[in-house]
Structure 1
Amino acid sequence: MNTDPRAEIIRAEGVTKRFHGLVAVNNVNFVLREFDVAGIIGSNGAGKTTFFNILTGLYPPEEGKVFYKGEDVTRMPPEKRVDLGMMRTFQLTATFDSLSVVDNLVLSFFRAHKKPSLLSLFLNTCKRHRNDPKIVEILETFDLKDIRDRIVKNLSLGEKRRLEIAMSILADPSLLLLDEPLAGLAESEIQMLLKVLRAHVGRQTILIVEHKLSHVQDFLQRLTVMHEGRVIAEGPCEECLRHPEVRKSYWQIATPAEEAGAAAS
């Protein structure tokens, strides 16, 4: 019996996803509670990205259900989930490449908080709110101030990645889902981003899929490890990483029993 008093933010019950007969996600159960800072890892082909896509609405599962704050969102499209307070980098925080950095931030903020029509945003909002305190603050936080007027299509990969994440955080979602947020970032950018995310611990529920485990291991409060579409370990990071099946499938380290068997042979 679970005695955690915190509200459930997202729950997956028995979700399964197949592609041409291949089971990519196999009967996965998962719960994320309010203000959790959690990560999903696994080797290539483990099913973590497919499962992430199920949570965010890109893929519907063949079996099982997904709930967000108690509401069944299994068949709800991604944009509707954004309206409910779910924000995902890479897919849903797509930039307007023909607009400036600052105008992208303005559009993200006012779509989330003011909910005007897109046309009215383009016609009225950008110019009036480019110097809004929240916009100025996020530009400084993500070191985008010097390129605020640059057109997004002319940004480097790292600059664009920082902008995407800044847009997500500026929208202040209840659930922030980050799909490999450190990809394409220099070490200094990685440390800056982790500093920003740490400031949101206790304020937002955060779920990260990330290959660079060494960078986020101390940041994550709990970990889910997937292998061949299944969850093979879940709990505190150190505990998960010591799990025999994780050592074998993720770290490619033989378990003591296997080592003894190899020695005997």
Structure 2
Amino acid sequence: MIPRLRRSVLYMPGANARALDKARALTVDALIFDLEDAVAPEAKGLAREQVVAALGRGGYAPREAIVRVNALGTPWGHDDIKAVAKIGADAILLPKVETPEQVIEAVAALDAAGAPPGLSLWITIETPRGVLGANAIAAASPRVGAIVVGTNDLAKDLRVRPTVDRRGLLAALSACVLAARAHGLAVLDGVHADLDDEPGLRAACEQGRDLGFDGKTLIHPRQIAAANAAFAPGEAEIVAARAVVAGWERAQASGQGVCVVDGRMVERLHVDEALRTLALAAAIEAQP
């Protein structure tokens, strides 16, 4: 099965009609149409209308389309859900999730608005309480499809210093990856806020990949290339994966349960990882 690519996931401000239009040509895996943080209170209604209209016109495929709504406790949250539940989005992103009850409330609102069964609910973990409850939150509903880490808000609440290695966030980042993997969810790293820090962006993408994230959320199109590169398997990885699969198939044909490839003992778990690498490479190759 070819996996869904989420190497690069770009936030698009819903109030910016020109940006919404240009997004159709970006080499990004997924788009988050933002009705929350990127939209001033007085522009919330306009942003909602523009996002509904933009998704209605289409043209974003094969990019995944996600709409970030306002929290249900705000004056706009329930109206957001009603407006976007049936417009053809792939997922709805719920901000500032701290409890399973918030997930259940959002799912009930989606159901009441007539959301199709396949519409996924993504959740943002961006507070200490959210991190501590990530496992229960991830398990709260079958609609939950991904965890997005809001690192800026989380760093503020934790009072961690902005270091290059993000050491103050590592425990929280890993907790979110653990919760996602325990429940079969996708998990996306937070944004890199400094648009002029290309080396820092690359380092953050590579760190996120090594921590187990599927991709990185972004705030500007100029960040797409770094994320796509970091979360894609390199040529050496692809060659090694092919060798592992070929060696395993030879071993299986001769009745052996393990084999040695390039001096390394290979078991079923290594084959599964190699197959995942090859499936990811195939998905990237298949992009138009």
Relative contact order higher in (CA < 8 Å, ≥ 6 apart): 1
Higher helix content, 1 or 2: 2
Higher strand content, 1 or 2: 1
Instruction: State if a TM-score over 0.5 links the two structures.
Output: no
TM-score normalised according to structure 1 size: 0.35
